Amino acid sequence: MAPKHTSTHLQTWLPILRWGRHYQRDWLAADLTAAAVVSLMLIPQSLAYALLAGLPPENGLYASMAPLVLYALTGSSNTLAVGPAAVTSLMTATAIGAVAGPGHPILQLQAAVWLALISGGMMLLMGALRMGFVAHFLSHPVISGFVSASGVLIALSQFKHLVGVSAQGDTLVSLLPQLWAQGHAIHGPTLAMGLGVLVFLVLARHKARAWLRDRGLPGFWADLGAKAAPVLALVGSVALSACLGLSERGVKVVGQVPTGLPTWTWPDWGTSTPQLISALWVPALLIGLVGFVESVSVGQSLAAKRRERIDPDAELRALGLSNLGAGLTGGFPVTGGFSRSVVNFDAGARTPAAGMFTALGLAAAALFLTPALYHLPQATLAATIMVAVLALVDVQAFGRTWRYSRTDFAALLLTFCVTLVWGVEAGLVSGVSASVLLLLHRSSRPHIATVGQVPGTEHYRNVKRHTVVVHPQVLGLRVDESLYFANARYLEDHIAQAVAGHPELKHVVLQCTAVNDIDASALESLETINQRLQETGVALHLSEVKGPVMDRLQRSDFLQHLSGNVFLTHHQAVQAVAGEGTAAPTRPHPD
Amino acid sequence: MAPKHTSTHLQTWLPILRWGRHYQRDWLAADLTAAAVVSLMLIPQSLAYALLAGLPPENGLYASMAPLVLYALTGSSNTLAVGPAAVTSLMTATAIGAVAGPGHPILQLQAAVWLALISGGMMLLMGALRMGFVAHFLSHPVISGFVSASGVLIALSQFKHLVGVSAQGDTLVSLLPQLWAQGHAIHGPTLAMGLGVLVFLVLARHKARAWLRDRGLPGFWADLGAKAAPVLALVGSVALSACLGLSERGVKVVGQVPTGLPTWTWPDWGTSTPQLISALWVPALLIGLVGFVESVSVGQSLAAKRRERIDPDAELRALGLSNLGAGLTGGFPVTGGFSRSVVNFDAGARTPAAGMFTALGLAAAALFLTPALYHLPQATLAATIMVAVLALVDVQAFGRTWRYSRTDFAALLLTFCVTLVWGVEAGLVSGVSASVLLLLHRSSRPHIATVGQVPGTEHYRNVKRHTVVVHPQVLGLRVDESLYFANARYLEDHIAQAVAGHPELKHVVLQCTAVNDIDASALESLETINQRLQETGVALHLSEVKGPVMDRLQRSDFLQHLSGNVFLTHHQAVQAVAGEGTAAPTRPHPD
């Protein structure tokens, strides 16, 4: 037994042991094809996201090698492609900017490495502690508002590269005045190059597939052709820039990119390192959470298409290791990106081996292609980023959420505005706080219906919605929510209010059909209610208590103190206690 | 109409307009008696709590005048008695200690005044915004752990006065080594006085009532006699101290207490005031919340005994005004105390006028009794406090909560330990964070039952608990929780897992009996689930959706995208979709 258990345990941590031993020859062809396509796509993307994070372009390439290999060894998704992504790169830029100014490139690199290491370490720890649920703090409206605002911020941050002016900062408040003030400094050739690439990419995204199909290409190749547009833009603009000598005409180009593979390096540990770490741990945690949520959403939706599934805790561990790998090879925080994973899936990747082959493709690029990148205009990369993040801004989510729920809309709008005005960290923190506050507020006033008997039946319904029979001595209340600390006092108050001024009342029956849980706070409130009612000569009864709730109540002494009884059905309760007095039919009285 | 509305509005803010105009002569006698009893009790208490807060004794008297009058004008409880209380005084001591060392009495007084003013202002604001629900953040286990730990800390903090050594700080970690180191410095006469009063008070608390009754006193007077024990102790020890000249023998006495009424004073505003305020607002908020929770619990339980009720938002406003009053008359933070309110109630107070008469009683004490307090040994006050806080430490709550719920016990223990070791603020904040985290954790994994048909009926039950019939092509799931951001992803994951590896499955039916709400996050998850199932040829259906939930779903386009249908009952759903295939009965298989 022991070896088998060990092997299963190892397989949980290293899924490659499971799929690796059954690897089939025809999977190899599929994985290699997918890797080739994803590599081509990743070269411009990783350069662009390094630019977005405020780092040298080669760091983008480095961040796309070790993490891919580590994820392939440990991840639970067959098709997720790991590397730098738009939103986490923006968050990286913000976090770096807070500890290292633009004149300190070495400190910036150190900060990027520490961000990846801390974020990776925390994800690994959370994965080991099975704390993936923490990501649930990020509700959909908060993520939606945050990602939309990030998309706007990213587009704005690239605007300066596109038009050739220089500006600092990543919030609306800090960017707009600078762009306004430097409007006259727009650089013509840069703008022409940027706008050209932008128009080409937008056209390619929306028209290329249909155009290629009309030219007789089969669906798969037409798709591939459309996806290759960023690579074409890259090759075309490098060629154009080199032939026309654009860098001499003042167009900013990527410049010298060191050739070679990343080396395994421990980060420097100096006297200021503890201070650096203490300044970076909150952004690192937020980057880890946002990256995890993005990655798991992508991974789950791809896995579901093949009726496979992924394990969120395994994903946390794999992403943690990937980020540690990124940090130790000179990269910056990475996550499972949406577009590249979809491309990997569509190109037919069968196993995580495709990720390893992609890493080889990027290694080849780092070894052989870097001299060619010298003439690449930054405006081309900016255009690539802007087109990619346009898809992030979900304008429809505002209207949809407004129509569906006002409180969710409030959380969405707050997150969007705070992110835009005060930046990514403030936006995320205020969004999460608002969701939790709104959740407590919403469940702090549960729906409590006064119920009466539908004449001639054993059914009990809301007196406000139905014509029902009620007894003057019996008050039947149905609580439509689990009872816990946030709403326990409301129940106390509601019952106090319902009883006040009704001296004829002798029995209160709580119908517990929708009560899935009673926590210790609610138990104390029930005890308080029971005692207060008893002091005024009213008995408290419960009806239709669920099995698990009843099991728990029996572990306390509440049932011994209960002045009334527990009934299987509400009808039995009312029949048992409403012996005296006459029942009066009521009419619905909505208010 | 307008004048009537105005008057109602005014009455909401000034309940005295309601009860004052119907004031009856026999109420006056009752209110005066209660006021006399409570005044006698409050004199030693307010001196003791000033000592606990680290302030001069007269400030305790000042904090028991203006607040009582303001509460009587604006409060919604007829019997609540407002003034300094044990836990809030400890919190005041901690907050003052953090900004003013023991050598700065003027700064300490300023900090106390600002604490009362900020805390009062915040309560007033929260009351006006109807934000009383924020107090629901404090779950019963958190309050219980916090109050028990505070009781221990208070007792420890008084220990030094009882035995006559001097020590600083209010956490276990800071107190114990000092008491240990100064063990040899115990002052004999002080200890004798302190222990004597302690034993007398403990005996009085547990035996006096029965003893007085055995001597033939009627119940009411026996009760009153027992309650008067602290006053007796006070008078006795002043007499003893003066006769024996204890202060010359090294027993610390209260000393010179200024005679006279508090004056209305605006706090000084200096250059350091903004800094002081920014250091005090968090403790002030916590003091306000704790005071509000204590006050509302006491007020509600007393009101319920007479089938009256109190209004939590009115209480917030009244307590806010009381604290502002305390701050502007040289006092410190106040709240509705438990023991004095019960005494007020038991002594027969009918209206808030009793509170005004109590304030007059204390004014008389401040005018005429202060010279007599010169010889009062601090050890007597320390013993008074220690006996009072013994009742706060609820040892049984630990066992009771452990048996009822492990997660609630975790919150209780965490709050207790953190309060004891790191102090009141850290304890409260970590307790609240833990409750919210545990709440999200608990509801992030809702109970989801696979259901099947009870043979021969239209009922569907958990396949793990009952012998039921299931169709291989139909999966019936009952979610026992509202769907919202904290559990939406779990549902996605649960369904992905249930579907994976079942190629024969064609329909998933969600039975929504216990789903009271679906927020925007859960709606998106349902859309994701629907889409993923559709891509693998499985239709998603809903059954037994509640009215309000259905209303909301109809405001989104989810129902248009839904691959299946919405059915009134689960049985209708299963009958409609399980046309083909043969139903197989299952046996219960609990796991």
Smallest CA–CA distance, residue A268 to chain B, in Å, is 34
- Mean pLDDT of all residues belonging to chain A: 85
What's chain B's Rg over C-alpha atoms? 31
pLDDT at A183 exceeding the cut of 70:
no
For B358, the token pair is 């109590």
CA distance A71 to A336: 9
Interface contacts A/B by beta carbons within 8 Å: 183
Structure-model confidence comparison of residues B388 and A573, the more confident one: A573
CA distance A411 to B430: 24
Smallest CA–CA distance, residue A306 to chain B, in Å, is 8
**Cβ contact A480–B405 (<8 Å):** no
Q: Please report which confidence band the pLDDT of residue A398 belongs to, taking 50, 70 and 90 as the band edges.
A: very high
For A44, the token pair is 């411009």
Number of CB atoms found within 10 A of residue A359's CB: 24
From the list B136, B445, B490, the residue facing A485 with the nearest CB is B136
DSSP string, A340-365: HHHHHHHTT--STHHHHHHHHHHHHI
Q: Is B440 on the interface with A (CB under 8 A)?
A: yes
Q: Is A440 on the interface with B (CB under 8 A)?
A: yes
pLDDT at A360 exceeding the cut of 90:
yes
Contacts of A303 in chain B (CB under 8 A): 496
Contacts of A435 in chain B (CB under 8 A): 485
State CA B422 to chain mean position distance: 20
What's the pLDDT at A1?
A: 38
Number of CB atoms found within 10 A of residue A273's CB: 13
Q: Is B24 on the interface with A (CB under 8 A)?
A: no
Reported as type and span, the H/E element at residue A441 is helix A424-444
Q: Please report which confidence band the pLDDT of residue A477 belongs to, taking 50, 70 and 90 as the band edges.
A: very high
CA distance B320 to B77: 15
The three-state secondary structure class of A335 is strand
**Cβ contact B139–A485 (<8 Å):** yes
Smallest CA–CA distance, residue A525 to chain B, in Å, is 9
Q: Which residues 6+ apart lie within 8 Å of B507 measured at CB?
A: B473, B474, B475, B538, B539, B541, B564, B577, B578
Which chain A residue's Cα is nearest to B312? A493
Q: Which residue has the tokens 């930046």?
A: A423
Nearest alpha-carbon partner for A450 in A386, A392, A361, A511: A511
For B563, the token pair is 């691959």
| Cβ proximity of B100 and B107 under 8 Å | yes
Q: What is the mean pLDDT of residues A547-563?
A: 90
Q: Is B590 on the interface with A (CB under 8 A)?
A: no
The end-to-end CA distance of chain B, in Å, is 66
Which chain B residue's Cα is nearest to A549? B404
Angle at B550 between CA B545 and CA B551, to 5 degrees: 155
pLDDT at A476 exceeding the cut of 90:
yes
Contacts of A438 in chain B (CB under 8 A): none
Share of chain A above pLDDT 70, in %: 94
Q: Which residues 6+ apart lie within 8 Å of A430 measured at CB?
A: A414, A415, A418
Reported as type and span, the H/E element at residue B461 is strand B460-462
> How many residues in total does chain B contain?
591
Contacts of A444 in chain B (CB under 8 A): 133, 136
Q: Determine which of A129, A345, A404 to mutate to test the interface with B (most B C-beta atoms within 10 Å).
A: A404
For B330, the token pair is 């040289």
| Cβ proximity of A586 and A452 under 8 Å | yes
Which chain A residue's Cα is nearest to B492? A300
From the list A307, A514, A520, the residue facing B408 with the nearest CB is A520
Nearest alpha-carbon partner for A431 in A448, A450, A411: A411
Q: pLDDT tens string for chain B (591 positions)?
A: 344 445 567 777 788 887 888 888 888 888 998 898 888 888 888 988 998 898 998 999 999 999 999 999 998 888 899 999 988 999 999 899 888 877 888 889 999 999 999 999 999 998 888 877 777 777 888 888 988 998 888 888 888 788 777 666 656 677 777 777 766 677 888 888 889 999 998 888 888 888 888 888 887 777 777 777 888 888 899 999 989 888 888 888 888 888 888 888 888 788 888 888 888 988 999 999 889 988 887 887 787 777 677 788 889 999 999 999 999 998 899 999 888 888 888 888 889 999 999 999 999 988 988 888 888 898 888 888 888 888 788 888 899 889 888 888 999 999 999 998 888 888 888 888 888 887 777 777 888 889 998 888 877 888 887 888 888 899 999 988 888 888 888 888 889 888 887 888 999 999 998 788 898 889 988 998 998 899 888 999 999 888 889 988 998 889 999 999 999 889 899 989 886 545 555 555 544
CA distance B89 to B78: 24
Write the secondary structure of A283-296 as one string of H (helix), E (strand) and C (coil): HHHHHHHHHHHHHH
pLDDT at A408 exceeding the cut of 60:
yes
What percent helix, strand, coil does chain B show, rounded to 5?
65, 5, 30
CA distance B291 to A380: 61
What's the pLDDT at B510?
A: 94
Contacts of A555 in chain B (CB under 8 A): 403-404
Q: Kindly provide the ipTM of the predicted complex, given to two decimals.
A: 0.70
Burial label, B184 (beta-carbon count in 10 A; 0-12, 13-18, 19+): exposed
Q: Is A401 on the interface with B (CB under 8 A)?
A: yes
| Cβ proximity of A357 and A71 under 8 Å | no
Contacts of A521 in chain B (CB under 8 A): 139-141, 408
Nearest alpha-carbon partner for B314 in B132, B455, B490: B132
Nearest alpha-carbon partner for A490 in B300, B474, B558: B300
Q: Which residues pair with B567 in a beta bridge?
A: B543
- What 8-state DSSP symbol labels residue B371? G
Which chain A residue's Cα is nearest to B441? A133
Instruction: Give the side-chain half-sphere CA count within 13 A for B191.
Output: 8
From the list A485, A503, A528, the residue facing B435 with the nearest CB is A485
| Cα separations in angstroms, B554 against B529, B541, B566, B567 | 18, 15, 12, 14
Nearest alpha-carbon partner for A234 in A420, A138, A374: A374
For A31, the token pair is 């994985």
Burial label, A120 (beta-carbon count in 10 A; 0-12, 13-18, 19+): buried
Smallest CA–CA distance, residue B521 to chain A, in Å, is 5
CA distance A385 to A374: 19
Q: Is A423 on the interface with B (CB under 8 A)?
A: no
What's the pLDDT at B586?
A: 57
**Cβ contact A307–B499 (<8 Å):** yes
Nearest alpha-carbon partner for B357 in B26, B81, B25: B81
DSSP string, A152-184: HHHHHHHHHHHHT-----SSHHHHHHHHHHTGG
CA distance B514 to B321: 43
Q: Is B298 on the interface with A (CB under 8 A)?
A: no
Q: Determine which of B76, B77, B133, B502 to mutate to test the interface with A (most A C-beta atoms within 10 Å).
A: B133
**Cβ contact A404–B536 (<8 Å):** no
From the list A308, A404, A441, the residue facing B555 with the nearest CB is A404
Contacts of B489 in chain A (CB under 8 A): 135-136, 296
A241: left (phi over 0), alpha (psi -120 to 50) or beta: alpha
Share of chain A above pLDDT 90, in %: 24
Q: Is B497 on the interface with A (CB under 8 A)?
A: yes
Q: Which residues 6+ apart lie within 8 Å of B413 measured at CB?
A: B145, B398
Q: What is the mean pLDDT of residues A485-512?
A: 87
**Cβ contact B139–A403 (<8 Å):** no
CA distance A250 to A238: 15
What's the pLDDT at A428?
A: 84
Q: Is B403 on the interface with A (CB under 8 A)?
A: yes
Q: What is the mean pLDDT of residues A60-77?
A: 92
The three-state secondary structure class of B299 is helix
Question: Cα torsion for A277, A278, A283, A288, to the nearest 10°?
Answer: 60
What's the pLDDT at B1?
A: 38
| Cβ proximity of B539 and B506 under 8 Å | yes
Interface of B with A in 508-547 (CB under 8 A): 514, 516-517, 519-521, 523-525, 528, 532, 535-536
Q: Is A489 on the interface with B (CB under 8 A)?
A: yes
Q: Determine which of A126, A289, A293, A307 to mutate to test the interface with B (most B C-beta atoms within 10 Å).
A: A307
Contacts of B405 in chain A (CB under 8 A): 519-520, 552
CA distance B327 to B110: 9
State CA A397 to chain mean position distance: 15
Q: Please report which confidence band the pLDDT of residue A2 belongs to, taking 50, 70 and 90 as the band edges.
A: very low
Convert the pLDDT of each residue in A260-304 to its tens digit: 888 888 887 888 888 888 889 889 999 998 899 888 878 877 877
Reported as type and span, the H/E element at residue A432 is helix A424-444
Smallest CA–CA distance, residue A437 to chain B, in Å, is 8
Q: Is B129 on the interface with A (CB under 8 A)?
A: no
Q: Determine which of A139, A300, A398 to mutate to test the interface with B (most B C-beta atoms within 10 Å).
A: A139
| Max intra-chain CA distance, chain A | 101
Q: Determine which of B129, B130, B139, B298 to mutate to test the interface with A (most A C-beta atoms within 10 Å).
A: B139
pLDDT at A131 exceeding the cut of 90:
no
The three-state secondary structure class of A464 is coil
Interface of A with B in 305-334 (CB under 8 A): 305, 307-309, 312
For A190, the token pair is 């840069």
**Cβ contact B300–A492 (<8 Å):** yes
Q: Determine which of A524, A535, A555 to mutate to test the interface with B (most B C-beta atoms within 10 Å).
A: A524
CA distance A19 to A244: 51
**Cβ contact A482–B484 (<8 Å):** no
